[in-house]
Amino acid sequence: MRPPGKKEQFGLKNAVNLVFFAAFSVMLLTAGLYIASLVLFSVKESLNTSHPTSIPWISDKDGCEKVGRVWRDGKCWDYQHNPSF
């Protein structure tokens, strides 16, 4: 609390604190945007690539090829599997 009749001064300490706060805020915002762009790029790339998976309920070659999948190593493989499924 200041004495009556005395003006409050901004002061050097407050100016330095303001500069540090502004610099920290800009760095935090920049880092957040950078991380967000990396995550979005990674998700986009993952959706555009093939993720083959075996179909466990199809246990014979004829049934596998009948539905348009590939029989390999004793398993039915689906090469069109979407990771967002």
Q: In angstroms, rounded to a whole number, what is the distance separating the alpha carbons of residues 70 and 2?
A: 82
**Residue range 4-20, pLDDT digits in tens:** 666 666 677 888 899 99
pLDDT at 2 over 80: no
Three-state DSSP class for 54? strand
Q: Tens digit of pLDDT for each residue in 19-63?
A: 999 999 999 999 999 999 999 888 777 666 777 888 889 989 999
* Strand-strand pairing, 75-78 and 70-72: antiparallel
Q: Enter the pTM of the model.
A: 0.47
- Domains of the chain by residue range: 9-49, 50-85
Q: How far apart are CA 54 and CA 66, in angstroms?
A: 15
